[in-house]
Amino acid sequence: MSELDPKIADRLKRNADGLVAAIAQQRGTGEVLMMAWMDDEALHRTLTTRRATYFSRSRGTYWVKGETSGHTQHVHEVRLDCDGDTLLLVVDQQGAACHTGDHTCFDADVLLPEG
C-alpha cells in the first residue's frame, strides 16, 4: 500500500493497469525528454526523494532514473494536468534521457518537420 497523500491519490485518473503517464521536461529549456509510467508508489517516492522513480511495465518493478546508467533526473517540480491523467516532472537531466542513448526520446523520429 502506497503512502501517497490521499488528497493527491484521489485526484489521479489511472489507466486499467493503475498507472498514470509521466512526462519529464528539462528545467529551464522546457525540452520534453521522455515519457514513462507511474503508479501511486512511484509518485510517492518521487515526491519524497526528488529522484524520478517510474514503474516499468515490462519488468513489473520500480526504477529510479539513472540508478544503473548514471543518467539521473533531479526533480524540481511535479504538476498534475487538468484531467488528472498525466503528470509533468520538471527535472535537471544528467546525461541521456532515452534508453537508446539519445538526449531525449524524441530525437530520432520527426514525423512532421517544423515549418
Closest CA to 32 of 108, 88, 82: 88
Cell of 113: 518537420
Helix (H) or strand (E) holding 91: strand 86-93
Could you list the residues known to form a binding site, using ranges.
Answer: 81-83, 85, 98, 105
User: What is the amino acid identity at position 58?
Assistant: S
**For residue 87, which amino acid is it?**
L
What contacts 23, CB < 8 A, 6 or more positions away?
32, 34, 35, 86, 87, 88, 89
Q: Which residues are annotated as a binding site for Mg(2+)?
A: 81, 83, 85
Report the binding-site residues for Zn(2+).
82, 98, 105
* Terminal Cα-to-Cα distance of the chain (whole angstroms): 48
